[in-house]
Chain A
Amino acid sequence: MTVLTVDGLTKTFDMHVLGDTQVVGLDDVSFAVQEGEFLAVVGESGSGKSSLLKCLYRTYDPTAGRIVYHNGDDKIDLASCGDRSMMALRDDAIGYTSQFLDEIPRVPAVDVVARPLVERGTPTEDARRQARELLAALHVPEELWAAYPATFSGGERQRVNLAQAVAPKPELLLLDEPTSALDPETRNAAIDLLESYLGAETTVVGVFHNTDVVQRVADRVVVLADGSLNEVIPIAEYDGTHTSPEADSNEPLGEANGRRDR
């Protein structure tokens, strides 16, 4: 069953501060995602990977095209639905995490992770217990659980962020480089968690830079180049284009300077 149909998705940015320059983020991208599928998005920096995920989550307003989300028998176009429909979907069905933690300040890590569970009705103490299990599974040191993630290292924040995104087991999970700042061992723990914690019906669209991760988790690979869809290939035919065996450590350094990855 199809969960998501992206059709002609285009995103341009009108940069008024740069004398009305127009920047193309995505150009006529189309693909479909099946229920329970794990779709990896790869491409060079600036190829539009993050823009794609942000359009799916509506942090970016798509300029043209449709993003049809199949919610049971309902179909809703995420590119054009009202803000409140999107808010409701974010609450109930669609999760997102980016490589940068964008959490509310002064909230302890355990409560950052527990929050989406509490908001969905889990009693606070149960939610905290689940949050602690997730943080432990991601090897976040126990002494950090009560601390504020703002003071954490990049890798620690990333794991808190990932734990928060997976906690409520959303139907559709959007992951923007969830493991880019992690060492191989921790990265494996993160992938183990994705596989063990999420049910088979969870659909994932994730941006990755690491070949091993893609080959281990993905069912198909979307290759973006200059904002356009180059190809969608089954994982068996994926040869590691645009990902590196162990090159993640180079990529996040550049992006950790705060540059937005379009």
Chain B
Amino acid sequence: MTLLDAAGLQTIYGSGCSECLTTTGDHAGTNQCEHCGSVVACANADLRVESGEVLGIVGESGSGKSSLAETLALERDPEATVAGEVAYAGHDGNLLDVDYQTRHALRTGEIAFVHQHIRDGLELEFTGGGNVAEKLLAAGWRSYEAVRERVRELFEATEIPPARMDDPTRTYSGGMQRRVQIARALATDPELVILDEPTTGLDVSVQARVLDMFRRVQREENVAAVVVSHDLGVVRLLADRTLVMRHGRIVESGLTDRIMEDPHHEYTQTLINSVL
């Protein structure tokens, strides 16, 4: 079943002009419009996510992958002009045009976002349990006991010692904070989780454990995911299909093993050959 079907997604920072799309992109070698100076963070992006599927998005810094992820997560950046169509199973119309209430309901229900920067996703002064509970309360949970029980369950699922539930999140290690973010994202049984650079700021061994945990939970819950990373290893570990972005455009897409073993685009070949 198709969960999300996006077409013509576009994010522009700046005033924008009629030349923006022709002067930027892979062929132009830049994402900045030479006429008006606007940055075309992403454009002409089409993608589809099936239920339970993991889609990877790779590309270097500034390729537009985070902008694309933020659009899909219904984040709204007042600086950006976003256009395009996002159809989502069970909803009529364009998800990018929904009213405040629907957007709130989606973001506390079906679609969860794991921010690249932990500070954007968590209140570090709150307890770890409080950060997860907040999401449940926003989704309408009211029973203290039920919330507590669900938080404990999520701590166990994401391999955080439940004994640390009532400690301030700032006292957690980086890996644990990332797990709290994932626990929070999964709290209301979403259908789609969008992870932006899930390994940022983590040691390699911690990265591996967090990704293993996410992979296990993703499969157990059969939740679909969009995983954005500059690291091919992350995408290789998690994604069924992968998109490659450069200068704000999707330059290649396909089965992840095909992208890794038979990269077509010049940039993808360079990327594969750059793996440490």
* Chain A interfacial positions (CB closer than 8 Å to B): 13-17, 54, 58-61, 83-84, 86-87, 102, 104-106
Contact = CB atoms under 8 A, between A and B. Distances in A.
Contacts of A16: 265-266, 269-270
Contact of A59 (B241, B262, B264, B273): B262
Nearest to B257: A59
Interface in B232-276: 237, 240-241, 254-255, 257-258, 261-262, 264-266, 269-270, 273
A13 B264 CA distance: 8
Contacts of B257: 59, 102
Interface string B213-239: 001000000000000000000000100
- Counting chain B CB atoms within 10 Å of each CB, the highest count among A15, A59, A86 belongs to A59
A54 B241 contact: no
Contacts of B26: none
Closest 5 CB pairs of A and B: A16-B266, A60-B262, A59-B257, A59-B261, A16-B269
A105 B212 CA distance: 9
B237 A58 contact: no
A87 B48 CA distance: 15
Contacts of B270: 16-17
Given A15-B269, A104-B237, A105-B208, A83 B262 contact: no
Interface residues of B, number: 19
Contact of A60 (B237, B261, B266): B261
Contacts of A60: 258, 261-262
B50 interface: yes
A54 B264 contact: no
Contact of B241 (A17, A83, A102, A104): A83
B262 A54 contact: yes
Contacts, number: 42
A20 to B, nearest CB: 9
Contact of B255 (A15, A58, A102, A106): A58
Interface of A is mostly: mixed
Contact of B269 (A17, A59, A102): A17
A59 B262 CA distance: 7
Contacts of B255: 58-59, 83, 86-87
B254 A61 contact: yes
B264 A14 contact: yes
Nearest to A17: B269
23 contacts: A13-B262, A14-B264, A16-B266, A16-B270, A17-B269, A17-B270, A17-B273, A54-B262, A58-B258, A59-B258, A60-B261, A61-B264, A83-B241, A83-B254, A83-B255, A84-B50, A87-B240, A87-B255, A102-B257, A104-B237, A105-B208, A105-B237, A106-B212
A158 to B, nearest CB: 19
Nearest to A96: B257
A54 B261 contact: yes
A135 B265 CA distance: 40
B262 A61 contact: yes
A52 to B, nearest CB: 13
Nearest to B50: A84
Contacts of B266: 16-17
Contacts of B264: 14, 61
A102 B208 CA distance: 16
A14 to B, nearest CB: 7
Contacts of B50: 84
Contacts of B261: 54, 59-60
Nearest to B237: A104
A131 B257 CA distance: 25
Interface in B46-99: 50
A86 B257 CA distance: 12
A102 B254 CA distance: 18
A14 B214 CA distance: 36
A14 B267 CA distance: 12
A16 B208 CA distance: 32
A103 to B, nearest CB: 11
Contacts of A87: 240-241, 255
Contacts of A102: 257
Contacts of A105: 208, 237
Contacts of A17: 266, 269-270, 273
A54 B50 CA distance: 25
Nearest to A84: B50
B235 to A, nearest CB: 13
Given A83-B241, A83-B254, A86-B255, 7 more contacts: A16-B269, A16-B270, A17-B269, A54-B261, A59-B262, A60-B262, A104-B237
A24 to B, nearest CB: 14
B213 to A, nearest CB: 11
B117 to A, nearest CB: 27
